[in-house]
Amino acid sequence: MQVGVEIGGTFTDLVWVNADGVVAVGKVPSTPDRVHKAVEDAVDDAVVPLKQVTRFSHGSTIATNALITRRGARTGLLTTRGFRDIVEIGLHDRVGNIYTAFYHKPRAPVERRFVREIAERIDGGGHVIEPLDEAAARREIQFLLDNGVTSIAICLMHAYRNGVHEDRLRDIILSMNATVQVGCSSRVSPEFREYERTVTTVVNSFVSPVVVDYIGRLDRGLSDRGCRSGLQIMQSNGGIMPSDAAGDNAVRMLLSGPAAGVQAATWFARRNGIDDIITIDMGGTSTDVAVAPMLEPRVVQELTVDDLPIRTTALDMVTVGAGGGSIAALDAGGFLNVGPASAGADPGPACYGRGGRLPTVTDAQLIAGLLRPSHFFAGRMRLDIAAANDALASLEMPGGLSQKADSVLQMVNSNMAAAVRLVSTARGIDPRDFTLVAFGGGGPLHAATVADEVGMKRVLVPWSPGITSAFGLLIADLKVDFLKAKLLPLNEQSLAGIRADDLAATCDRYAGMLSLTAGSYQVQTGLDLRYAGQGFELTVWADVARASPAELRAAFEDLHRERYGYTRSNLPVQVVNKRARLTRKSELNVVTPKQSAAGNAGRQISSIVLQGNSCPATFMERSTLDFGETIAGPAILEEPTATTFVPPGWTARCCETGDLLLEKK
C-alpha cells in the first residue's frame, strides 16, 4: 500500500493504492499558514490506514514559495577573499524585458553584510596556492553566529575541482554551533561558473532550514498517526529521493509538484498508445507546461526561479501566472491583465466565500456558466455567484458581467497558449503533431480552447485529472544525480582521465547506503559537451567507459542539430562535466477504477458564454459516459476533482482505459 500527496496553492491532493492495486483519491483545501497540516487533513479525509503504508511520497512547493516570498532562513555566505560581491554583481544580461527603463537586478537571498571573505585560494587545477586561514575564518563565522545567522553557504573559488577548504570550513562551523545548517558548493553544485554556483549554494542554504523543519513536522505527524514507512520527496528531475537527503539538496525540490505531474502524464499517454505529448497543468496559482517527445520529458541543467539561475537537473517546463486564483486587473493603460498575482487558498477567489473580493479566473468561469455553483468539488464547496458578480463588476471595463468574464477567460487562454508555443514552436517542435495532456483542477476546462489556438487537434484528459500530480508521486522512479566538473578537450587522452573518475562507483556506494540490492537499480553515465567557446552545453548520455571520442562527438552533434538546427564540424568539442544517474524503476502495478455507465441520467442543457455569445451546452457527470461513447461539444463533463470543457466542433470519447480523448472534428 503506497500513498502520494501533492500540495498545491489552493488544494492538496492525495492518491493511495490499496493492497489489490486499486487507486483511491482525496482532496482537501491547502493550509498556507501550516503547510504540513493539509497533508494530515488529506490523510484523515481519505481514511488512509497509515500503519499499512509501505511508501509515502510527497511533492510540495515549500522550497519555491520560501524563495519567492523571501521567507527563508537568515543566511550567511563564506567566499574567497576578493570575491565578496559576486552575487551582487551577477551577470551582464537583463532578465525579462530588456527595454525596461527602471530595471532592477534579481534580489539576492543573502544580505551583503552577511557575505564574509575567507583568506584561502585554490587554482583552476585544484591545487592549493594559499592555505586556509583557520583563525581568521573562525572570527568571520563567529560574526555570522552572533548576528543570528542560522544557515551558512560556503562557496570558494574553484571548489568544484577541490573541496578540501570547504569541507574544513564546514567542520569548523559545526564545531562552533552544531545546529546551524551548512551547505558547500562542492556538494550542492560542483560546477564551474562562479555566479551560478554561488547563487545555487546560497539558495540551497536559504530554503534548506524551511524544508528541513517542514519535513520534520510532516514526518512526526505521520509517525504519530502510525505511519512507519520512509518519507520520499519528489525532485525537480522527476524522480524521488529519501526525505533525509532533502535538507542538503533543497534546491532539487523547486519544481517538486509540477515534475510529478509530467511523470504521470507520460504514464497516462503510454497506456492510451500516445507517443508525443505536451502537458498543461493548471492549478490554483499557475499553469505549468512541458514537452515530452516519445514520452521522454526534456531535461535542463539549469532553471530560473525569481530571476535567479539555479544549477540543478530539472524537467524543462514553462510556468505562467494562469491559475484558478489568478487575479484579473486593468493596468495603467487600461488594458486587461490576468495574473501573476493570485488569491491563493486564503482567501481564494471571491466565489469561495472566504472573504476574497478581487476578480479571479474561477469567478469568470462561474459567471460564464462553465462551472455550476452546486457541482463544484463534488458539491463539497458551494460557489457564491453573487460574490463572483460583485468581483467582476469591479473591473472598470466596457460590457456586462458575461462579457467581462469572457474577456478574462480569453486572456488566460491566450497566456496558456503562449506557454505552449514557448516549449514547442520556439524550440523547433510543431505542436500540431502532439497531443495535449491536460490535468490539474483547471487544465481540462481550458485545454481544448488552448489546443485550438495553437493548431493542436487532440487533448487527453486523464482519469481524475485534478489529482494527476499526486498520482505521479506513486509511479515515480527513485533518481539521484551525481556530477563532477571536467574542463577538457574531447579526445582519447582526456577520456582516459575522465574514465578514471568512476562516478558509477559513487552511484553503487550510494545505492548501498539506501539498502538497494545489486540488479534492482540502473546507472547511466554521460558527459556535458559543447563547442569550444560556447556558453552552454548539452548532456549526452552514453557508456563513457566504452564510447570513443568520435562516437561521443557524433551523438553531441546529432543532439545539437536537433536542438539548434545546425552543427559546426570545424570546431573542437569540449567536455564540461561528467554525469551519472542512479535510477530504481517503480514496480508499482496500478489499476484506476472504472466507473460504471449510467446512460443519460443527470444530463442537462444550460447556457454558457463563448466568445461573447450565449449558447446551449450539455452538462453531465463524466462517470455517465460509457466506454467507447462519444459526446459532441459544446459539453461540460463534471467530476469531483476537475471539469472538462468540450468546445463546439470538438468531441469527447471515453477510452477503454477510462481516460477522455478530445478531438477536433
Question: Which element (helix H / strand E) includes 171?
Answer: helix 164-176
Condensed to tens digits (0 to 9), the pLDDT of residues 356-414 reads 899 999 999 999 999 998 888 777 778 889 999 999 998 888 888 888 999 999 999 99
Q: What pLDDT shows up at residue 173?
A: 97
Q: Is residue 167 part of a domain?
A: yes
pLDDT value for 599: 43
Q: How far apart are CA 460 and CA 660, in angstroms?
A: 6
Number of domains forming the structure of the chain? 4
Is the residue at 83 inside a domain? Answer: yes
The pLDDT of residue 182 is 94
CB 517 within 8 A of CB 508: no
Q: What is the pLDDT of residues 625-657, one digit of tens each?
A: 888 899 998 999 998 888 999 999 999 999 999
Residues 76 and 43 reside in one and the same domain: no
Question: Model pTM?
Answer: 0.86
Residue at a domain's end among 163, 181, 202: 202
Rounded to 5°, the CA angle 172-174-177 comes to: 110
* Residue 600: pLDDT band with limits 50, 70, 90: very low
Q: Is the pLDDT of residue 607 over 50?
A: yes
CA 508 to CA 512: how far, in whole Å? 6
Residue 596 has pLDDT above 60, yes or no: no
The overall average pLDDT reported for the chain is 88
Mean pLDDT of 132-144: 96
pLDDT digits (tens, 9 = 90+) for 465-517: 988 988 998 888 888 888 888 889 999 988 888 887 778 888 988 888 888 88
Span 252-303, pLDDT tens digits? 888 887 888 999 999 999 999 999 999 999 988 788 899 999 999 988 888 8
How large is the average pLDDT for residues 525-547? Answer: 91
Cβ atoms 630, 651 nearer than 8 A:
yes
Average pLDDT over residues 215-242: 85
Q: In the prediction, which pLDDT does 74 show?
A: 95
Query: What are the C-alpha distances in Å from 396 to residues 306, 331, 332, 390?
Result: 31, 11, 12, 12
- Look-up of cell digits 500500500: 1
pLDDT for residue 95: 67
CA end-to-end distance (rounded Å), the chain = 42
Same domain membership, residue 546 and residue 617: no
Q: Sorting pLDDT into bands at 50, 70 and 90, what band is 554?
A: very high
Distances 665 to 444, 608, 631, 651 between C-alpha atoms, Å: 18, 21, 12, 7
Residues 56 and 91 in one domain: no
Q: Minimal CA–CA distance to 57: which of 333, 471, 647, 495?
A: 471
Provide the pLDDT for residue 597.
44
On whether residue 448 sits in a domain, the answer given is no
Same domain, 494 and 509: yes
Is the confidence at residue 590, as pLDDT, over 60? yes
pLDDT of residue 103: 77
Residue 618 within any structural domain of the chain = yes
The answer to whether position 38 is within a domain reads yes
Say what the pLDDT of residue 601 is.
54
Predicted confidence (pLDDT) at residue 526 exceeds the cutoff of 80 = yes
- Identity at 186, one-letter amino acid code: S
Q: 569 and 620 share a domain?
A: no
Q: Answer whether residue 177 is part of any domain.
A: yes
**Calpha distance 411→414 (Å, rounded):** 5
Q: What is the mean pLDDT of residues 116-135?
A: 94
Cα dist from 306 to 107, 188, 254, whole Å: 8, 19, 11
User: What CATH number did the domain enclosing 487 receive?
Assistant: 3.30.1490
User: Of how many residues is the chain composed?
Assistant: 665
Q: 639 lies in which domain range?
A: 604-664
Tell me how far apart the alpha carbons of residues 607 and 482 are, in angstroms, rounded to a whole number.
Answer: 56
pLDDT band at 18 (very low <50, low <70, confident <90, very high): confident
What pLDDT is recorded for position 439?
94
Q: Is 196 found in the same domain as 93?
A: yes
**Rounded to whole angstroms, what are the CA distances from 158 to 118, 254, 298, 456, 577?**
14, 26, 30, 48, 14
Angstrom distance (rounded) from CA 230 to CA 211: 16
The band of 453, judged by pLDDT with boundaries at 50, 70 and 90, is: very high
What's the pLDDT tens digit per position in 299-340? 888 888 878 889 988 888 888 888 888 889 888 788 888 877
Which pLDDT band, with edges at 50, 70 and 90, does 120 fall under? very high
553 in the same domain as 503: yes
Of 530, 549, 584, the residue that ends a domain is 584
Residue 595, pLDDT above cutoff 60? no
Let me know if residue 144 belongs to a domain: yes
Q: What integer pLDDT is reported at residue 75 of this predicted model?
A: 96
Average of per-residue pLDDT across 21-43: 79
| Residue 434 near residue 424, CB atoms below 8 Å | yes
